[in-house]
Structure 1
């Protein structure tokens, strides 16, 4: 089954002849970049959008991964922070983010002679509340992984089979996802969340989130390591560190980390409308 989907992806890119990949450095878009480059060579180009919602460390990882694959890689600056529809952080915030991204990538692709812009959306993403997917579709972007029905688990399995050392890399959505809908997003807030997550990564914790609500930081960790975290971490030092970043209060979510947790406030009707 996995081999069949890989063949389908290779055929898909062969038919495209030239493709520009919206490449964030996440596991999904990196797999797309790998297969595109293996199929098309220098007729595939990876583009990473740089903005305050992308951690500098994640950008450096994206550069290293692209270099490892061999695919040509370029950076573009996106201006979603200039859009009040984005910074107001409505439930469809991602629509405005992806609109900015693809309004930047599409003309760039045409200028450089790439008839297709592709992204890393997988089949599982279609089942979640992802308003950004609609924005990409409206601008003609294609999602090869979703087109062949490849799930997140399969993305990791295939990445491992292809020898990509980051096959088990934790998901790292943009930093704007750390804020509850309706709370304004600012560059300063993005930076303090980013610094807090980097601090925890440096302590050895990779699969985590630091959610931010006003002056409060809420740490989310996998449920099975919460007890170990509380016992082994110098909590006073951690609190002082977070307060140095600008937070007043630091809490630990006892439910544990769960991707897309903030989407639980969205009515089911909203989810259904997005999936139509």
Structure 2
């Protein structure tokens, strides 16, 4: 697979108002790609769009959209068409987590978490895949290190990210030979608004933080490989942890994760999707 011709690409990035999404936007704009930025916060999107257009001379289209909508895929596709854009690549980065004992969580909040982390990602992948194939672009779905282990007190988040990992690796196999490069990106603890949205630093269990720029550099280096694999983990220590998780028993891993996330840590927290 040849290195992407970035100036020929128009890339949708969800969750683009901050963190990893904004870092993807800056890195891709610097490579000459046009962008479609998607998040709830229109003011942040418009500020970032202006910054990137001035700095790199690319076209950046901000679209404010709440991805908890049950018709998020159709809504975004309509908005993109109305803006006169033809996307060739998609980065499903939007997501959020909750922290607390499952029995204490707000069911409506958990439904929103599943809507953003799972349903919207599947809908957008389905809605835009034909144009990605036509444009010979790429599909990057952001999973998490939580995809590799059961995650007590973040049970829904971990399960959602395990879905993203499995779903995307399956797409990687289906899309071989189509001209589309698809893979899952799994960051570990990263210096973003994730903990602020979750409501506690306990969600990352005191892990050493990577930066959004490091995560994006890992993703783009993988994308530019001759034959990118179905998934990539950011950070050497995270790759080692994933390997250890595969070698240890499920009982041992879930017991360890339960210890890391409690019991002295806060049991509940409020959150809202990015």
- Same fold, TM-score > 0.5, yes or no: no
Q: TM-score, normalised by structure 2?
A: 0.34
Q: TM-score, normalised by structure 1?
A: 0.34
Higher relative contact order (CA 8 A, sep 6+): 2
